[in-house]
Every structure is written in C-alpha cells, then in structure tokens.
Amino acid sequence: MGVVIVSVVFCVLSYYLSNISAGNNVKIAMDFILSFQFFITAVFSILMVSGSFHKDLNDKVIYLLYSKPITKVEYLTGKVVGFFSVLAFLSFILFLINTSAILIINKISSLYVPHIVLTERTFIFSLLLTFMGLLLISVTTLFSVSFSSSTLAMLVSFLVFIIGLELSPVKELVTASKLVSEVNKIIVKVVYYVFPNFSLFDVKTIVVYHFLKFSPFFVSGVIAYSVIYSIFLILISLLVFERKEL
C-alpha cells in the first residue's frame, strides 16, 4: 500500500517538475515516472523477499511449518510463487496509476503530445519488461538469502541491482576507450556477462521517444534472459536451502 501511495505522490510531483523543466513536459514527466517505477518496485522486491525470510525466522513461523509434512524445497517454492504473484499484482496497479497519470498530463498539456495508442502500446511493453526485471531482482535476493542473513542479502542485492543498471553503459565506455588496458576490458566483459544486467529492463528511452521502436527480438530476448537467469538462480537456491541449517 505504501508503494502505491508513493507512486501516486510521485506522479503528481513529476507533473510539476516537468513544468519547470526545459523541453516537452509530457516526455519529461514520462521519463520521471518510468524511472521511479522501476527503481521503487525493485527496492520493494528486495525488501519484500529479504524481510519475508527475516520475519519467518524471528516469529518462528518457519519452525511451525517444518513441524508439518512440508519440506524446505516446498517451503521455498511456495515463497517464490507468492513473491511472483505479489509483484505481478503490484506491477499491474502501478501500470494503471502511471498510464492514468500520463493520459491526464497529455490532456492538460499545451505542448505537442504523442499519440495515445502509441503511448499505451509502449507502456504495455514497458510493464512487461519491468515485471521481468522485478522477477530477476527478487530471485537474486532469494539467492543471496540462501547464502547469508536477510540483512546482508538485502544489502548485497541492492548493490547488485545498482551495478546491473550501469553494466551496459560502462561496458560500452570501457570497450571503446583506448586508455583502458586489455586486462581491465576483459574483467569488465566478464562482470557484464556474469552479473544480472538490469539495464536491459530499463526501457524508458524507448517509451518516451517513440522514434525508437520496440523490436520483437529485443523483447523476446530480454524475457528469455530473465527467465533463464531466474531459473538458474532458483535451482541453486533450492539446492543450497535444502542443505542449510536454520
């Protein structure tokens, strides 16, 4: 509920910020809203996953569950399904709030505004890719919880998320520079392919500037990347959690 309220407040704030900024206020508002949506929902995902395990351990809920005919794998699988369901519902609610805000700003704006159908179409693609990014960050947090405490997992997951957002621009900058040694370029490339690349899910530029089209290959590739990476981390988390002493 808190995330929804903050989202509404930020949508209102984005309108006033866009009015005092140079350029098309509709595009600026869309940029603010989409940037905020991905960041705040990612932070919520991290807090939700790490906080859920912390609460279960502190309240002894997990021990009560283990007194019944349920395995650690079943417990963790149920958690994953629950997390995904909450994220899907939250993403849908924020999608409704954000698109409504953009439509209202479109209506009251005195400048040129993009076509409504085109705006909605790109917003739907943005919702889909944002949701896939949220799945990956939640699974990354789950993976961290399997190896460490909830607090440490939360910090590690947040750092991984921040690093993942900057992977693509850093890689392009380093590989194109003649001042960077080949060893450092190799290290950056290894990190680029090993760390979850959250910059793939940040598509606000494509949504805001409609001359950049959504490629079906790009969308399907990003979805496949999220699914494969998530399945890999879930399988490792299940193996580790099965052997973990609680």
Asked if 33 contacts 101 with a C-beta cutoff of 8 angstroms, the reply is yes
Asked if 123 contacts 207 with a C-beta cutoff of 8 angstroms, the reply is yes
**Cβ-count burial 66-97 (b if 16+ within 10 Å, e if not):** eeeeeebeeebeebbeebbebbeebbeebbeb
Quick: pLDDT tens for 202-242.
Answer: 777 666 665 555 677 888 888 899 899 988 988 888 888 77
Mean residue pLDDT of the chain comes to 75
d(CA 61, CA 40) in angstroms, rounded, equals 28
- Which pair of tokens denotes residue 240? 């580790």
| Segment among 54-58, 156-160, 177-181, 182-186 with least mean pLDDT | 54-58
| Segment among 20-24, 44-48, 154-158, 200-204 with least mean pLDDT | 20-24
Asked if 195 contacts 160 with a C-beta cutoff of 8 angstroms, the reply is yes
Query: Predicted confidence band at 117 (pLDDT cuts at 50, 70, 90)?
Result: very low
Query: Predicted confidence band at 110 (pLDDT cuts at 50, 70, 90)?
Result: low
